[in-house]
Amino acid sequence: MAVNESLPFASYIEKMPGGQVILATSEDLFNWAKAASLWPLTFGLACCAIEMMAAGSSDYDIDRFGSGVFRASPRQCDVMIISGTICIKMGESLKKLYAQMPEPKYVIAMGNCSISGGIFYHDSYSVVKGADALGIPIDVYVTGCPPRPENLLHGLIKLQEKITARKAEAV
Ligand code: SF4
């Protein structure tokens, strides 16, 4: 079975002289568990969504990172992957979906359109210039037009690193 080497559990275990004792705060362990089971929301906005779907295929196997469980309800997911062009008409729906996600929640902006409006930045009356403009806080930006599935997996690993690093801030 493939192992997610970006989140080694051994890093949370410290050996004591003469024995083995797990030394970790419960927050460390919760953050480790959260980072290893980021369930995405099932939705896509445009061409980038095809690459997101490809990331779930056997060639790329997003399940290795605990993120293969795409949920149909925002109430059951941890991460929103904004994959594609955000039309102004879609903006309110996007904000509503984000509001319905339970805390802690994370957002990945996948592709230039969701980051800044991409090729529609200039001369478009119907496209939002990035999810930031909607007030949705982005945790990780995955650049490209479109980004390849490997880029999305890299973004996922960066999000995992961000979540597990929060334990250090909290201590
Ligand atoms: S960034 Fe490129 S591939 Fe992605 S939605 Fe925009 S135009 Fe399509």
Q: Does residue 93 form part of some domain? A: yes
User: Which range marks the domain in which residue 109 is found?
Assistant: 40-154
Stated pTM of the model: 0.85
Which atom from ligand 1 is nearest to the alpha carbon of 48? 4
Q: In what order do the strands lie in the sheet with 106-110?
A: 79-83, 106-110, 140-142
Query: How many separate domains does the chain show?
Result: 1
Residue nearest to atom 3 of ligand 1 (CA): 146
153 Cα to the center of ligand 1, angstroms:
17
Could you tell me which of 108, 169, 107, 99 has the C-alpha nearest to residue 144? 108
In a domain, 170, yes or no: no
pLDDT at 2: 47
In a domain, 84, yes or no: yes
The residue-averaged pLDDT of 125-146 equals: 95
Segment 18-31 shows an average pLDDT of 73
Task: Taking residues 94-117, report their average pLDDT.
Answer: 96
Ligand 1 pocket list (CB less than 6 A): 46-48, 84-85, 111-113, 118-119, 145-146
With respect to residue 131, please indicate whether it lies within any of the assigned structural domains. yes
Ligand 1 centre and the CA of 154: distance in Å?
A: 18
Residue 81 lies in a domain: yes
CATH number of the domain enclosing 95: 3.40.50.12280
CB 50 within 8 A of CB 75: no
148 φ, ψ to 5°? -75, 160
- Predicted local distance difference test score (pLDDT) of residue 101: 97
Residue 169, pLDDT above cutoff 50: no
Residue at 24 is within a domain: no
Residue 31 lies in a domain: no
Q: Considering the domain boundaries, does residue 150 fall inside one?
A: yes
